[in-house]
Amino acid sequence: MHARAKKALEIFLKEDIGRGDITSKLLPRKKISARIISRQVGIVAGVQYAREIFSSRKCQVRILKKDGDKVNQNDTIMTITGPAYSVLSCERTALNLLSRMSGIATRTNYFVKLVKSTKSRTQIYSTRKTAPGLRIFDKEAVEIGGGKRYRVSLDQMVMIKDNHLAVSGSLLDIVRAAKKRHRRFEIEVESLDDAVMAAREGASIIMLDNIPPREILRIIKTLKHLGLRDRVRIEASGGIDASNVKNYARTGIDMISVGKLTSSVLGLDLSMEV
């Protein structure tokens, strides 16, 4: 497990427990067993982190459903054995993270299946629209659900967007500045002309932001006609949801980024029973 993740889990626990679980301290000092169960159908994600939370407080954990597994209502995901105080004081932190990650994985998997039903090679990607402090977990959950992740942080790849253009004043100038320093860069465009320019200037990825499928087809057709399509990956973003994702996939783009996978999370309904 990555050191950053392990450190984050300890911070999460301390946030919830504070100076001590004063309610659980009222209970007899005894060893108990509990199980985490699913209340609905979904894809499990975050099992290793839930296990680490309990294990850090000297509990024994048995995994019954691993990351990426489908669960049905009342399926047991894991069992926990340990001191009553430890099990109960870890309960909410483990459930919160497991529920969030499983919700993200479940929704991502739904989008992935919608795209696959079109026989398209388009892939679903996460964005940086994640909860502060939870990015490594949110991004991993998307991957567990069958999606892809890239640009976890701003230092990983240049992505030139509208606000960068507002500061620079010239899309061509900032693109050429990027080429001098970086081998790979992405450009957000809003028109056919800008898409052609970006491809000619050597962009690795062109993001078509809030552009409807019909216009995307026209852009791709033009890039093919100019012999530029194979040089660049095409990404669609903005306003894409379950109702229209298949229409975007059918255009032949390479990537669809969906911010709502991690920005509007509906956690999977889980509970722990002693």
The distance from CA 141 to its chain's CA centroid, rounded to whole angstroms, is 5
Mapping DSSP to helix (H, G, I), strand (E, B) and coil, where does residue 219 land?
A: helix
* Farthest CA pair distance, the chain: 76
Quickly count: other Cβ atoms within 10 Å of residue 183's Cβ.
Answer: 10
Query: Which tokens go with 77?
Result: 């995901």
Distance CA 154, CA 95 (A): 30
Q: Which residues are catalytic?
A: 92, 129, 161, 188, 209
The 10 Å CB-count burial string (b at 16+, else e) for 22-44 is eebeeeeeeebebbbbbeeebbb
Q: Tell me which DSSP letter residue 133 carries.
A: T
Of 256, 201, 191, which Cα lies nearest the Cα of 228? 201
H helix or E strand, kind and range, residue 81? strand 76-83
What is the Cα–Cα distance from 34 to 81, expressed in whole angstroms?
Answer: 6
3-state secondary structure of 235: strand
